């Protein structure tokens, strides 16, 4: 990772849908003291609502539908290279990047996952957490490695689950904390990678 030295890190955010985390990252990158500058938003879904946030802020977007993973990843790598991207933030990106992609990009990739990792890796986290009568849940920002949701943890925030909590209320509560957690984790990681 290159040193900060007051320079903002060119960042790409990958999304697949709603994009509320992207929206919070965009709001944060506009702040003077933000360590990142979001140069590119990538989506595997042409209908991802989050693309609107990028367009509203005049951030370049690139959509590739992963019909052929290898082809899509090659196209993405090219875009990352052209835009001199040094950091990727996955924010609700529903595709798993290949080992080959990670090896070729070489720079850090962060992800936000809505559970207290290493617990509840993978999909349907809120559903599983509620079914298991967990007392706590939360969200984790971690480095992406070749194993799903298993890279080094950068920052984690824990919340209490109420008695009458359901999947929807838990998701809403966790999203709210994620919108603060992701920018904080990026800062923490860039200051001390
Ligand atoms: C978030 O809960 C994030 O942790 C998970 O997917 C969700 C994305 O939500 N990886 P949004 O698209 O950012 O609103």
Q: What does the pLDDT look like over 40-99, one tens digit per residue?
A: 999 999 999 999 999 999 999 999 999 999 999 999 999 999 999 999 999 999 999 999
Residue 44 domain boundaries? 1-107
Tell me the CA–centroid distance for residue 26 and ligand 1, in Å.
15
Tell me the CA–centroid distance for residue 8 and ligand 1, in Å.
24
Contact in structure between 163 and 142 (CB atoms under 8 Å) = no
The closest alpha carbon to 73, from 109, 53, 41, 97, belongs to 97
pLDDT of residue 4: 65
Distance, CA of 181 to CA of 186 (rounded, Å)? 9
Do 101 and 173 lie in one domain? The reply is: no
pLDDT of residue 170: 98
Backbone angles phi, psi at 15, to 5 degrees: -135, 170
Do 17 and 48 lie in one domain? The reply is: yes
Residue 98: inside a domain, yes or no? Answer: yes
Tell me the CA–centroid distance for residue 79 and ligand 1, in Å.
23
Backbone angles phi, psi at 121, to 5 degrees: -70, 160
Do 2 and 86 lie in one domain? The reply is: yes
CATH number (domain holding residue 68): 3.40.50.170
pLDDT, mean over the chain: 96
Ligand 1 probe mutation, 42, 175, 181, most atoms within 8 A of CB: 175
Residue 24: inside a domain, yes or no? Answer: yes
Tell me the CA–centroid distance for residue 130 and ligand 1, in Å.
18
- Ligand 1 atom with the shortest distance to the CA of 49: 12
Domains of the chain: total: 2
Rounded to 5°, the CA angle 4-185-165 comes to: 165
Distance, CA of 193 to CA of 186 (rounded, Å)? 9
pLDDT of residue 1: 58
146: Cα separation from own chain's centroid: 16
Do 40 and 101 lie in one domain? The reply is: yes
Query: How confident is residue 14, by pLDDT bands cut at 50, 70 and 90?
Result: very high
Contact in structure between 137 and 117 (CB atoms under 8 Å) = no
Do 7 and 63 lie in one domain? The reply is: yes
Distance, CA of 128 to CA of 116 (rounded, Å)? 12
Residue 148: inside a domain, yes or no? Answer: no
Do 86 and 7 lie in one domain? The reply is: yes
With pLDDT > 70 as the criterion, what percentage of the chain qualifies? Answer: 97
Pocket lining for ligand 1, CB < 6 angstroms = 15, 17-22, 50, 91-92, 112-114, 139, 175, 178
In this predicted structure, the answer to whether residue 3 has a pLDDT above a threshold of 80 is no
State the DSSP H helix or E strand holding residue 32, giving kind and residue range, or none if neither.
none
With pLDDT > 90 as the criterion, what percentage of the chain qualifies? Answer: 95
Contact in structure between 178 and 152 (CB atoms under 8 Å) = no
Do 121 and 81 lie in one domain? The reply is: no
Residue 19: inside a domain, yes or no? Answer: yes
- Ligand 1 atom with the shortest distance to the CA of 16: 12
Residue 163: inside a domain, yes or no? Answer: yes
């Amino acid at each position: 990772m290159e040193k900060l030295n007051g320079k903002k890190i060119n960042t790409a955010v990958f999304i697949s849908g709603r994009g509320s985390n992207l929206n919070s990252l965009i709001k944060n990158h506009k702040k003077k003291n933000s360590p990142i500058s979001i140069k590119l938003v990538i989506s595997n879904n042409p209908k991802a609502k989050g693309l609107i946030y990028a367009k509203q802020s005049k951030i370049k977007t690139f959509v590739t539908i992963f019909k052929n993973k290898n082809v899509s990843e090659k196209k993405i790598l090219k875009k990352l290279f052209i835009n001199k991207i040094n950091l990727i933030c996955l924010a609700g990106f529903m595709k798993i990047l290949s080992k080959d992609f990670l090896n070729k990009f070489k720079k850090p990739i962060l992800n936000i996952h809505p559970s207290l990792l290493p617990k509840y890796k993978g999909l349907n986290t809120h559903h599983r957490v509620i079914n298991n009568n967990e007392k706590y849940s939360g969200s984790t920002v971690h480095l992406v490695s070749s194993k799903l949701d298993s890279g080094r943890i950068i920052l984690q925030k824990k919340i209490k689950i109420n008695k009458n909590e359901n999947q929807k209320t838990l998701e809403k509560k966790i999203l709210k904390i994620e919108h603060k957690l992701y920018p904080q984790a990026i800062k923490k990681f860039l200051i001390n990678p």
